[in-house]
């Protein structure tokens, strides 16, 4: 995940943003993103995801703090930092009368790269836009416009790609294509930061996840770590014969009966030192209960997330400092 | 500062392509209005007006007419060019690109000014079908043409950023620029006014543009050529400073 020196490709330090109307959209954000990873910024609507991305990309002005991209300050060295970044915005903002080909070529030039028709062709083909290359953008469907925006963002061969709510209102096919493209890009060394309020999306694609709510980063962690640390697992024991009630000898495990008494469900914390599984299974046989199968299931990020944002949040500064690295 | 020339070329090409799509409108409109002006002012009314400063009335109005068209068209082209991306939201791309206000101006204003110069040439050619045109100082004529096109394209660019809707884009040229151009001596010589109004007129910046431009044709001017040129340059510099300030503070562009 981290490049050899361990230096982040994006480093956000003490970032704050207060909009002109006095609304504090970001509060002391500290965040590192490492070269080559897929980082998901996960948070409900209005959490500040777009604000954070737009500040890094230079569209919105920070109110305080410092951001470096590739070790360079995004304000002082904006030519260097911005040329490394591609952005697929949340809104479907596209030209209308231009052709797909010309709007994508425009983006490449705008970001300082000489014309390269072969590269543009490659992008358009990978996004299934090739047969639409001469179509006016206004004639395309919403999904196609989203593809055009992705093509524009990739036109200058960025090393960092921001995808702001990439799957909002997107059909299944495009969603599949998009994840394929994201994986291919990561393969070629591109760092990807995406925002989403869909947990499954973060869970499926990301290496690390930052949870953001009310303008504060609550937690930044490896996906698996996050799941493990906060996740609960369930052990389901499939019984031979249904039970009417849980035997008293097993009371301390807080077991539940499911499926008309044919299953015993044990919920445990994966981060606990001892899960008690061995002892439980032993006691189940001792109680004369026969079972023919056992399975475990992890709770999804959804549940983790709901748990997280409900938690009383300690000062963001303290949390972020401890968790950022 | 190493400029992003690919970006300038991209924006410039994009804007010129927009003009090509509306080519008929861009050429036909000025040609028709110029012809109308000549029929009404040149032939019908002009035949009853004596020569002004030794120049036939039809010929006399040519520089003023070009200026009138140049001012309004420069403003509307440039303002539309930058307002449209703001309206559709595509401005995000320009704001996130590795470019400064220099590239933005060179691209957008460069393209708008190019259109204006083409427009000026079109009007000049149309006019030459109606009246004799004599250009005493071709170099200065071209210089005034280009400076005016650039200045008012810059002004239009500012307008396009300031305006919150398309109505405002049209109001400013219609309610401010056109009256200033008409009252600034497009169709008469300032010296024909009573002394008091002559003085008042000197506060109209367009007077200097028209006077200088007419001098480059017929070698006579309402105000000194040096003054005309300086006023044009001052206006241009004011616009540049405002745009520099807009990009520095993010006014209406970056929240
Ligand atoms: N230009 C603006 N002026 C004032 N408040 C804004 C502006 N843009 C966004 N906000 C507010 O900032 C908060 C965060 O917005 P945003 O970053 O778009 O959230 P997200 O992308 O996570 O849904 C929201 O409450 C939103 O209303
Ligand atoms: Mg958003």
| Domain edges within chain A | 10-84+159-228, 232-298
pLDDT digits (tens, 9 = 90+) for A73-85: 999 999 999 999 9
A253: Cβ–Cβ under 8 A, 6 or more apart, which residues?
Answer: A266, A276, A280
pLDDT digits (tens, 9 = 90+) for A109-153: 999 999 999 999 999 998 999 999 999 999 998 889 999 999 999
- Counting one residue from chain A and one from chain B, the pairs whose CB atoms sit within 8 A come to 82
Residue A59 contacts B, CB cutoff 8 Å: yes
**What pLDDT is attached to residue A231?**
62
Answer whether B99 sits within 8 Å of A110, measured CB to CB.
Answer: yes
Q: Which residue's CA is minimally distant from atom 12 of ligand 1?
A: A25
ipTM: 0.87
Helix spans in A155-300 (H) = 172-187, 199-205, 223-230, 277-286
Chain B residues touching residue A60 (CB < 8 angstroms) = 254-255
Chain A residue with the nearest C-alpha to that of B254: A60
Instruction: Name the closest-CA residue to atom 9, ligand 1.
Output: A51
Residue found under tokens 């973060």: A202
Ligand nearest to the CA of A52: 1
pLDDT for the residue A65: 94
The per-residue pLDDT for A272 is 66
Q: Determine contact, residues A195/A87, Cβ cutoff 8 Å.
A: no
Query: In A, which residues are within 8 Å of B13 by CB distance?
Result: 106, 109
Tell me how far the alpha carbon of residue A96 lies from the centroid of ligand 1, in angstroms: 26
Q: CA–CA separation, A173 vs A180, rounded Å?
A: 11
Which stretch of A56-60, A294-298, B17-21, B145-149 has the lowest confidence by average pLDDT? Answer: A294-298
pLDDT of residue B83: 93
Q: Are A93 and B90 in contact (CB under 8 A)?
A: yes
Query: Above 50 in pLDDT, residue A321?
Result: no
A90 touches chain B (CB under 8 A): no
CA dist A83 and A157 (Å) reads 9
The reply to whether A10-84+159-228 and A232-298 are identical in fold is no
Question: What's the pLDDT score for residue B147?
Answer: 93
Which has the higher per-residue pLDDT, A50 or B179? Answer: A50
Q: What is the pLDDT of residue A324?
A: 32
CATH of domain A232-298: 3.30.70
pLDDT at A4 over 50: no
A267 sits in which H/E element? strand A263-269
In whole angstroms, what is the distance from residue B101 CA to residue B86 CA? Answer: 16
- Which of B17, B90, B96 shows the shortest C-beta gap to A102? B17
Ligand 1 is surrounded, with C-beta below 6 A, by: A 19, 21, 23, 25, 43, 45-51; B 255
Q: What is the pLDDT of residue A6?
A: 63
How confident is the model at residue B253, as a pLDDT? 82
- For B167, counting Cβ atoms within 10 Å of its Cβ (0-12 exposed, 13-18 middle, 19+ buried), the class is exposed
- Name the helix (H) or strand (E) containing A164: strand A160-164
pLDDT in tens, B164-187: 888 888 888 888 888 888 888 888
Closest-CA distance of chain A to residue B122, Å = 26
- A249 versus A5: which is more confidently predicted? A249
Closest CA to B159 of B176, B146, B147: B176
Q: Residue B174 has what DSSP assignment? A: I
Chain-centroid distance, C-alpha A123: 23
Going across the sheet that includes A10-18, the strands are A24-33, A10-18, A64-69, A72-73
Q: What is the mean pLDDT of residues A29-35?
A: 95
CB atoms within 10 A of CB A303: 14
Chain A residues 37-56 with a CB less than 8 Å from chain B:
54
Regarding predicted confidence, which is higher, A167 or A123?
Answer: A123
Per-block mean pLDDT, blocks of 10 residues, chain B (255 long) = 89 92 81 84 72 79 89 91 92 94 93 93 88 88 94 94 89 87 82 81 87 88 86 92 90 83
- Position A1 scores a pLDDT of 45
In contact, A111 and A164? CB cutoff 8 Å: no
Query: B99 and chain A: CB distance < 8 Å anywhere?
Result: yes
Report the pLDDT value the prediction gives residue A229, as an integer from 0 to 100. Answer: 63
Locate the chain A residue with the closest alpha carbon to B98: A79
Q: Which fold has domain A10-84+159-228?
A: Rossmann fold (3.40.50)
Share of chain A above pLDDT 70, in %: 87
CB atoms A59 and B92 under 8 Å: yes
Q: Is the pLDDT of residue A314 over 50?
A: no
pTM tops 0.80, yes or no: yes
């Amino acid at each position: 995940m981290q490049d050899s020196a361990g230096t982040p490709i994006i480093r956000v330090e003490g970032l704050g943003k207060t909009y002109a109307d006095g609304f504090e959209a970001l509060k002391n954000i500290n965040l590192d993103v490492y070269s080559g990873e897929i980082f998901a910024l996960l948070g409900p609507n209005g959490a500040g995801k777009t604000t954070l991305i737009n500040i890094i990309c230079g569209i919105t002005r920070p109110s305080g703090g410092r951001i470096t991209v590739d070790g360079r300050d995004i304000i002082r060295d904006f030519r260097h930092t911005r040329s490394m970044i591609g952005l697929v915005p949340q809104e479907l903002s596209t030209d209308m009368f231009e052709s797909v080909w010309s709007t994508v070529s425009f983006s490449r030039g705008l970001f300082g790269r000489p014309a390269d028709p072969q590269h543009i062709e490659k992008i358009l083909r990978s996004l299934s836009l090739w047969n639409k290359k001469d179509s006016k953008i206004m004639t395309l469907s919403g999904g196609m416009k989203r593809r055009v925006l992705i093509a524009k963002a990739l036109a200058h061969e960025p090393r960092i790609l921001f995808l702001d709510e990439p799957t909002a209102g997107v059909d299944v096919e495009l969603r599949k294509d998009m994840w394929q493209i994201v994986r291919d890009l990561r393969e070629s060394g591109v760092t990807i930061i995406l925002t989403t309020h869909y947990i499954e999306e973060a869970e499926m694609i990301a290496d690390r996840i930052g949870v953001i709510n009310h303008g504060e980063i609550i937690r930044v962690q490896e996906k698996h770590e996050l799941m493990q640390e906060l996740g609960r697992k369930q052990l389901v024991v499939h019984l031979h014969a249904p039970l009417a009630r849980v035997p008293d000898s097993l009371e301390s495990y807080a077991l539940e009966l499911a499926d008309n008494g044919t299953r015993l469900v044990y919920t445990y914390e994966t981060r606990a030192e001892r899960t008690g599984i061995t002892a439980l299974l032993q006691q189940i046989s001792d109680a004369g209960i026969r079972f023919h199968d056992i399975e475990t299931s992890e709770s999804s990020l959804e549940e983790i997330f709901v748990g997280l944002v409900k938690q009383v949040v300690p000062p963001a500064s303290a949390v972020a400092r401890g968790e950022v690295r | 500062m190493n400029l992003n020339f690919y970006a300038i070329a991209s924006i410039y090409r994009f804007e010129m392509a927009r003009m090509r799509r509306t080519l008929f409108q861009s050429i036909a409109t000025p040609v028709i209005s110029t012809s109308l002006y000549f029929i009404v002012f040149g032939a019908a009314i002009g035949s009853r007006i004596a020569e002004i400063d030794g120049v036939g009335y039809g010929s006399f109005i040519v520089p003023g007419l070009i200026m009138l068209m140049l001012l309004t068209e420069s403003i509307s082209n440039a303002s539309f060019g930058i307002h449209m991306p703001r309206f559709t939201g595509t401005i995000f791309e320009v704001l996130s690109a590795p470019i400064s206000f220099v590239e933005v101006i060179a691209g957008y204003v460069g393209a708008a000014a190019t259109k204006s110069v083409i427009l000026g040439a079109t009007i000049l050619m149309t006019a030459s079908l109606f009246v004799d045109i004599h250009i005493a100082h071709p170099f200065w004529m071209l210089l005034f043409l280009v400076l005016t096109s650039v200045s008012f394209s810059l002004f239009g660019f500012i307008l396009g950023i300031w305006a919150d809707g398309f109505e405002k884009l049209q109001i400013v040229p219609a309610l401010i620029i056109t009256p200033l151009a008409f009252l600034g001596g497009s169709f008469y010589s300032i010296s024909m006014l009573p002394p008091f109004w002559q003085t008042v007129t000197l506060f109209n910046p367009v007077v200097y543009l028209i006077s200088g431009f007419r001098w480059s044709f017929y070698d006579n001017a309402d105000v000194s050529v040096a003054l005309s040129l300086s006023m044009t340059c001052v206006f241009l510099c004011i616009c540049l400073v405002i745009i520099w300030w807009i990009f520095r503070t993010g006014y209406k562009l970056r929240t």
